[in-house]
Amino acid sequence: MLPSLLLVGGGRMGSAMLAGWREQGLSAAVVVDPSPEAARLAGPGVTAVASFGEIPDGFTPEAVVLAVKPQMAAAALPDYARFAGRAVFISIMAGKTLKSIGNMLGTKAAIVRAMPNTPAAVRQGFTVAVAGSHVSAPQRELADVLLKAAGEVAWVDDEALLDPVTAVSGGGPAYVFLLTELMEQAAVAQGIPHGLARAMARQTVIGSGALLAASTEDAADLRIAVTSPKGTTEQALAVLRADGAWPDFFLRAINAATNRSRELSE
């Protein structure tokens, strides 16, 4: 059974995490979200309210999860400073540093900054987290339990790593979805019917991910195993890697996303 939780923001990522917590058992939770759709999040042990002022009197959460849009943080977060000193704050807001969050909650607030990704919706996410200096060992353990409800969790000591983490795992699902789109389009260009092209591209990506998850081999080794010498796959990979095409473009893409994350953190 999880302790009392307060979720600020019931959007896609917040609701995905809440679903994972429900599966682990909630003693009591409050979700604060002004959108009309937020009422759907209410249920056994979960109260949904539209604003901070509607949080039930006497509710004292052990963890406050900050899942609001980064641009709303300055207006929304200061109210929650009243829970500093008891609760651990877990922020999944992109681009908001420990320092900037501390400025809104009070410099002694116990803050964990985390970057999950959208496969959290099916409990297959990957989250990288860093703990602020005021986070106690039990609070870090609680944060780990809550984040693991959405998938795998890794902890780092250097907050600066969250910028490339945002670029790689945070944005990673979009890159995989783009690959799926392009495979489908290429199949159609070869005369394969749309429905078959869509099913083939989707299941190829899904199955490859499942194979990767089940294997202890590196991705490079699995790629080599699929690539017969002088075969069709070798020809395709030769085009993708010609003049460093894919490696260079991917490096540039991750670099651009990392730089943008740094800009948002300033």
What is the average pLDDT score of the chain? 94
Q: Do domains 5-160 and 170-265 have the same CATH topology?
A: no
Contact 32, 60 (CB under 8 A): no
For the chain, the domains span 5-160, 170-265
Q: Which residue has the higher pLDDT, 55 or 107?
A: 55
Q: How far is CA 136 from CA 69, 109, 239, in A?
A: 26, 11, 52
Q: Given pLDDT bands bounded at 50, 70 and 90, which one contains residue 244?
A: confident
Q: Given pLDDT bands bounded at 50, 70 and 90, which one contains residue 65?
A: very high
13 sits in which H/E element: helix 12-24
Q: Given pLDDT bands bounded at 50, 70 and 90, which one contains residue 265?
A: confident
> What is the tens place of the pLDDT at every residue in 189-220?
999 999 999 999 999 999 999 999 999 999 99
CATH superfamily of this structure's domain 170-265:
ProC C-terminal domain-like (1.10.3730.10)
pLDDT of residue 221: 97
Q: What is the rounded distance in angstroms from the CA atom of residue 256 to the CA atom of residue 247? A: 14
Q: Which amino acid is at 230?
A: K
Q: How far is CA 132 from CA 82, 196, 223, 228, in A?
A: 18, 50, 39, 49
Residue 52 is classified by DSSP as G
For residues 82-96, give the mean pLDDT. Answer: 94
- Which residues, in sequence order, are bridge partners of residue 122? none
Architecture of domain 5-160 in this structure: 3-Layer(aba) Sandwich (3.40)
Q: Given pLDDT bands bounded at 50, 70 and 90, which one contains residue 39?
A: confident
Whether residue 266 is predicted with pLDDT greater than 80 in this model: the reply is no
